[in-house]
């Protein structure tokens, strides 16, 4: 099994790095760290990462990248190791470190190339290495367990909408009670399931 000094790793080495397995080790390392971050990420952080993924794709591909929704939908169809390498790229771009203290994301030139049998095969050893060096880390859910990046922005917006609507709902209810106070006399409870007959 190939062992590399992760703390001293640098950027991808291109063809030679692929040949000796260096790039694949980087791919697995980043995927494991990014997966751990995503599993524990807040909705706010996910939204920030999704926005950065859109910016990265627009910078690299220009108009060919499509709309923000198309970009996120395309990334949502990719395998998890590709997705997590994109997340690592976004984290590096934003200056967000891994959740594990003292661990670092590594530079990978092309996340699309990270889904290789060699990279996937290195994930178990990377997870063990990370756990030994830095402490407990989230388990890998499987390469077919994809993230829906489109929901990262929608879930955040929906939760924020609910929070912003709550004070308005309370104020509206208070105004209704002032305008139409409840009767002090007990009211007869009625429902659609019965008919009250009066004698």
Taking the C-alpha atoms of residue 105 and residue 26, their distance in angstroms, rounded to an integer, is 9
- Residue span of the structural domain in which 113 resides: 14-152
**Does some domain include residue 44?**
yes
Q: Measured between alpha carbons, how far is residue 104 from residues 10, 118, 130, 156 in Å?
A: 11, 21, 11, 27
Contact 74, 125 (CB under 8 A): no
Q: Number of folded domains in the chain?
A: 1
pLDDT attached to residue 23: 81
State the pTM of this model: 0.69
**Does some domain include residue 182?**
no
**Does some domain include residue 76?**
yes
157 or 135, which is more confident: 135
The predicted model gives 159-176 an average pLDDT of: 51
**Does some domain include residue 145?**
yes
Contacts of 57 (CB under 8 A, 6+ apart): 65, 71, 75
**Does some domain include residue 113?**
yes
**Does some domain include residue 193?**
no
pLDDT attached to residue 180: 65
Taking the C-alpha atoms of residue 65 and residue 83, their distance in angstroms, rounded to an integer, is 16
- Express each pLDDT in 112-145 by its tens digit: 999 989 899 999 999 999 999 999 999 999 999 9
Range of lowest pLDDT (53-57, 108-112, 181-185): 181-185
Asked whether the predicted pLDDT for residue 8 surpasses 50, the reply is no
**Does some domain include residue 27?**
yes
């Amino acid at each position: 099994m190939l062992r590399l000094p992760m703390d001293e790793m640098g950027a991808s080495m291109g063809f030679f790095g692929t040949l000796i397995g260096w790039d694949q080790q980087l791919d697995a390392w980043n995927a494991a760290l990014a997966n751990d971050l995503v599993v524990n990420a807040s909705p706010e952080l996910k939204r920030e990462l999704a926005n950065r993924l859109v910016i990265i794709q627009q910078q690299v591909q220009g108009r060919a990248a499509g709309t923000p929704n198309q970009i996120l939908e395309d990334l949502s169809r990719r395998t998890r190791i590709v997705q997590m390498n994109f997340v690592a790229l976004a984290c590096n771009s934003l200056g967000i470190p891994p959740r594990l203290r003292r661990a670092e994301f590594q530079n990978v030139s092309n996340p699309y190339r990270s889904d290789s049998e060699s990279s996937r095969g290195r994930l178990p050893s990377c997870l063990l290495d990370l756990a030994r060096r830095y402490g407990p880390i989230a388990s890998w859910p499987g390469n077919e367990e994809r993230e829906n990046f489109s929901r990262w922005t929608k879930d955040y917006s929906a939760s924020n909408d609910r929070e912003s609507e709550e004070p308005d709902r309370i104020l509206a209810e208070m105004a209704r009670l002032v305008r139409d106070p409840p009767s002090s006399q007990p009211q007869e409870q009625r429902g659609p399931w019965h008919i009250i007959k009066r004698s």
